[in-house]
Chains A and B, each alone.
Chain A
Amino acid sequence: MTKRFTRRWTAAAAAAVVAVGLAACSSGSGPAQPADLKPVDDGATLTMWARAGRQPIFDPIVKAYNDSHKNQISITYVPEDQYVTKFATAIASSSAPDIASFDVIYAPQFVAGKQLTDVTSALGRLSYHEDLLPAHMASLSDDDGHEFGVPVAADMSLIYYNKTLFAKAGLDPDAPPRNWDEMLAAAKAIKALGSDEYGLYMPHNNTGQLQFDFTPFIWAAGGKVTNPDGSFVFDDDATRAALRLFKTAWDAGYFPDSAKSDDGVGFVSAFAKGNIGMSMIGGGGSDAYASQHLPFDYGVMPIPGPKTGEVASFAGGDVAGISAGAQHPDQAWDFLSWLTSDTTQLDVYGKLHSIPIRSDLVAKLPADAGEFMTVPAGLLEYGHQPRSTHLNEVMSNVTGPYLTMFRDYLFNGVDLDAAVTKAQKDADAITGR
């Protein structure tokens, strides 16, 4: 009986496994539908998802919309590292929100996976369509030129510099470095202040910071990082030059040793200590530092290129689209068109000290906006994004080619040519799969 019993249960288990498999195979994701959207404000209740880190921006934005419209938005904040999987699950179970706002780096995957509604024709009717951030719009477009959303937040790569330390080191606090040589010279002067002072900071063990802060050095040197077909370009002169710059700075001791293991914890906090001359951060730093009332004077500068006048930035931030199969697409479009309008961008975003997501509005920023608004806003036209559906595998994974290339050359004694060649080969293997 025991054997029969075991056989029966084994058969039942196998049947369950097969049944689950068949059920799993039978479902599929539906295609995104092209839609001729019209803004509708009829009192519908809309659902919206945004990543958790954006709550300080989206709470007041959504409140401003709800206060001035019949439609009402109910927003849910989703942890960043769970956003994509949760959204995929929601789409599969037909419970996706009407509006999805997410990190722009995922936009190519959302577009390729047809998870968003095609808004091309509705966008075309907006007078400022061509002024929406080009890098964000490129990531929201498919190969046929169809567009699937709008930018909703811009976050540019910046270098925060300690003006107090600059003055102490005999540097002009109001004239930050404009090229790599000046940056290295400033770092050297600050390092010379003492054993606990360092010229530069960037977490060297975090793929996110590497993309956001190191990659702009490649762009500023003329590199492109990704090709239009989504493949990667590492084996080029620009990548070599940027790597050489960081190696030079590391070997000279301009970075503290703790940057080597920093997996992102010190991204914002390291600069607040007051002993770092220039820290590669981003727009989010100003809010954090303003609330901490740092006991020293500081400013922001763009990431420079090898020559004066060359600058570059990662065009980070968020985009939003209407989920494929959303229940209220026209009402969702009403929100997105309101969000990108002049009034919202200048008034609501302005009060939040958030830079506009339209290049035509940069000139309209108030005269007293301050460098923490004007410097990143001025970078909008220099913003880049690595655009590839394989971005995570190549540039975000800790075992991926990008971080490996960076650390192999800086710390592990690997020759520069060998490091970039290997990264190129590994990236090609991933994109060519």
Chain B
Amino acid sequence: MSSLAHEVLAPASPAGARTRLLARERRTGYLLLLPSAVLIVVFFLVPLGLTVTMSFYDWPIFGARRPVGLANYAEALGDGRFWDAVWFTTWYTALTSVLGFAAALGLALLLRPRFPGRTIARSIVFAPVTIGMGVAGLLWLTLVNGRSGVVIQILRTLGVLGPEQDWLGDGGAVIAIAVVLTIWKTVGLPMLVLIIGMDSIDESVYEAARIDGAGPWSTLTRITLPLINRPLALVVLLTVIANFLSFDQFYTLSRGGPDGATVSVVFYLYEQGFQAFRQGYAAAIAVLIALLLAILTVIQVRVQQRSADE
């Protein structure tokens, strides 16, 4: 019997069949991964590679580029305006994320039970998510600018504001407006994720809690929140990342002003890359932002894992 006939006719050993099956599964797995892998390479790895490379160059918009080693990173680390932007972005992210999360949780608790008009109420809260942040910023600019803003005019007519009081001329007021705008614009999505998480909790768990005499607060903190730990973690992670990368609201509302009060790290990156045309330096800032976010994300995930384990 030839070896081929032997292979075809002889019963395969169980171990060999398993190996072939595993190999076939692995091939299928790779094939299924291929489209995603191509997308990741084209839209993530290639730009990332280019960005990392650019960060080691003096890369003007026109003319010859030249390698500068770590000079761009050294400059960024010693650049007071960069660190001002990091500091502003960090506390803005903390403030917006905490308030935004509280708003999302509150709205989820409020809009989860059945009541007439619930769908309409949810839609109203979710609607701003469907527009871009730039559009939202321009919309709010028309409401709150000192020359023709509708809200300003109403408040002036009511005597709440003086005739020349201008929120956009006050750094603190611009930041407050940006926080409210961001929460208004984004709160719908985390609210929905939290509602879906809450809906997945078996009603019998709540019944048992009620029988044991649990009040609303202890039901929330000891049952609801621990049982939606995963969607909660996702919401916190996405909210923090999105807020750290804020740009559009500051650009549209105040162009980073007044007096640089709302220059976020992405705004600073934009300014260096697309206004000053220092693409190598902007690339170094981009890499530093990515590293900062990676560190922030790792810390967040670790903390959440630890609290979930406890």
A14-44 vs B, CB cutoff 8 Å, 1 = contact: the mask equals: 0011111100110011000000000000000
**B4: interface (CB < 8 Å):** no
Query: Which of chain B's residues have a CB closer than 8 A to the CB of A397?
Result: 271, 275-276
**A53: interface (CB < 8 Å):** no
Query: Which of chain A's residues have a CB closer than 8 A to the CB of B145?
Result: 258, 261, 265
CB pair A205–B277 under 8 Å, yes or no, is no
CB pair A393–B45 under 8 Å, yes or no, is no
Contact of A257 among B50, B165, B255, B259 (CB under 8 A): B165
CB pair B259–A407 under 8 Å, yes or no, is yes
Residue of A nearest to B273 (CB): A85
**A270: interface (CB < 8 Å):** yes
Residue of A nearest to B274 (CB): A85
A191-216 vs B, CB cutoff 8 Å, 1 = contact: the mask equals: 00001100000000110000000000
B105-146 vs A, CB cutoff 8 Å, 1 = contact: the mask equals: 000000000000000000000000000000000000100011
Give chain A's interface secondary structure class. Answer: helix
Q: How many A-B residue pairs have CB under 8 A?
A: 129
**B227: interface (CB < 8 Å):** no
Per the 8 Å Cβ criterion, residues 58-77 of B in contact with A are 60-65, 67
B143-158 vs A, CB cutoff 8 Å, 1 = contact: the mask equals: 0011100000000000
CB pair A261–B260 under 8 Å, yes or no, is no
CB pair B45–A398 under 8 Å, yes or no, is no
Query: Which of chain A's residues have a CB closer than 8 A to the CB of B141?
Result: 265
Contact of A16 among B41, B167, B168 (CB under 8 A): B41
Docked complex Cα distance between A28 and B268 (Å): 27
Docked complex Cα distance between A264 and B147 (Å): 12
Contact of B62 among A13, A29, A264 (CB under 8 A): A29
18 cross-chain CB contacts under 8 A: A16-B45, A20-B49, A28-B64, A29-B64, A109-B61, A113-B63, A115-B62, A196-B163, A205-B255, A205-B257, A257-B169, A258-B147, A261-B169, A265-B145, A393-B276, A396-B276, A398-B255, A398-B257
B interface residues, Cβ below 8 angstroms from A: 41, 45-46, 48-50, 52-54, 57, 60-65, 67, 81, 141, 145-147, 163-169, 254-260, 263, 268, 271, 274-278
A interface residues, Cβ below 8 angstroms from B: 13, 16-21, 24-25, 28-29, 81, 84-85, 88, 91, 109-110, 112-115, 195-196, 205-206, 256-258, 260-266, 269-270, 392-393, 396-399, 404, 407-408, 411-412
